[in-house]
Amino acid sequence: MSPLRARLAELQLAVMLLTRLPAGHLREAPSIGASAWAFPLVGALVGGVTATVLLAALALGITPGMAAGLAMAASIVATGGLHEDGLADVADGFGGGRDRARKLEIMKDSRIGSYGGLALILGLGLRWQGLAVLAHDPKLAALALIALAVSSRAALPLALLWMPAARADGMGKAAVGTTALRALVALAIAVAALAFAFGSAALPIIAAQTVLQLALVIVALRQIGGQTGDVLGAMQQVAEIAGWLVLSSRL
């Protein structure tokens, strides 16, 4: 397989893993770790879908707050709520488990408890309100949706590189094996997207996302000894929320 076809296959696999969007079929599937560099590009795709829904709603005269809600719904449909599910499972597991084994058991349970429900409400509410604030400027809001969807997924390859898998199965285990080069490519894509969208305002966004994701990494290492697919999903959610918090305070 040529290098170009290999990269396209990795991107295709990343779309298949992180979204519910049609992505065709792969005859020779690369490893999940090999596709990790493309996670931010998948974010651009999801952000593009979400931004399109927002702009269409605003063009139809729907109020910014309601248009922001429709955009959030489009994002959830595009990803199948994958990252939101991770946030809820992490909140339930870390908040309700007494030891590592019990925390992992709770996180694997498809049912959502009180901690997970509250995390979903607060997470979606903060993202919704952040977008509603910016939706009065449609162009800025669309850029923000795409740039934050990109940057919030950029640190996931680093987590796969540096954090051990917390369980012997699941996506967290299957996705290990990425490289430092792939992680750096993902970060470079995110920095470029933020700089294009916000210029110098990108720096506090990067700082806030780094701090919150690093805090979650430290908590995950203490709570369950590593990463899982749910932890990666929660990392994406807290990074996106951090971006909206910074934008709503500065712009």
Average pLDDT over residues 90-105: 93
More confident residue, 174 or 7: 7
What's the mean pLDDT when you consider all of the chain? 93
Q: Tens digits of per-residue pLDDT, 44-67?
A: 999 999 999 999 999 999 999 999
- pTM higher than 0.85 for the full model? yes
pLDDT score recorded for residue 80: 96
Summarize the chain as % helix, strand, coil (round to 5). Answer: 80, 0, 20
- Token pair listed for 121: 């409400």
Q: What pLDDT score does 201 carry?
A: 87
Name the pLDDT band for 30 (thresholds 50, 70, 90). confident
Q: What is the pLDDT of residues 219-233, one digit of tens each?
A: 999 999 999 999 999
> What pLDDT, on the 0 to 100 scale, is given for residue 4?
87
Each domain of the chain, given as residue ranges in start order, spans 3-250
